[in-house]
Amino acid sequence: MFTYRVAEEQNFSPDRHSEKILGRLENGDVSIACHEPGQIGPYHAHPDCTEIYYCVQGSGTMRVAGETVEMTPGTIIVHPPGELHEFSSGPERAILFRVRYGDGFTSRIQEWPSNPDWKPDRD
């Protein structure tokens, strides 16, 4: 059994959202993603894994293939392998609990305008 307390694990950064892996499982991991107000994550996909987000605190929107879904505490979103998605936090700090499982966690980032250091993948 693994026990985590969000208040003890949260870690916010003024520059961009932060992610902290809390534990690893045989074919996956569990983590939290912390977003300051207005932070936007990368528009990305994981070709070989499913990614599940649960909104613990705060609010925001998840962009998925031309659709935008509101996330508030209690909202769960499941991204199947290969689905592009991007979280944008609302007017307060947001904490998302994340579960990933599958054959690999490689991210394919399509765009990340809020990160000036990001460079497109070269394939």
Residues 70-99: tens digit of each pLDDT: 999 999 999 999 999 999 999 999 999 999
Q: Which residue has the tokens 């592009």?
A: 84
Q: What's the rounded Cα separation, in Å, for the pair 107 and 74?
A: 25
Question: Contacts for 8-17 with beta carbons within 8 Å, 24 or more apart?
Answer: 10/34, 10/95, 12/36, 12/93, 16/41, 16/114, 16/115, 17/41, 17/87, 17/89
Bridge partners (DSSP) of residue 76 are 54
In the chain, what are the domains? 29-109 (2.60.120.10)
Query: 26-70, pLDDT tens digit by residue?
Result: 899 999 999 999 999 888 888 889 999 999 999 999 999 889 999
Question: Could you tell me the pTM of the whole model?
Answer: 0.85
Distance of CA 110 to the CA centre of its chain: 15
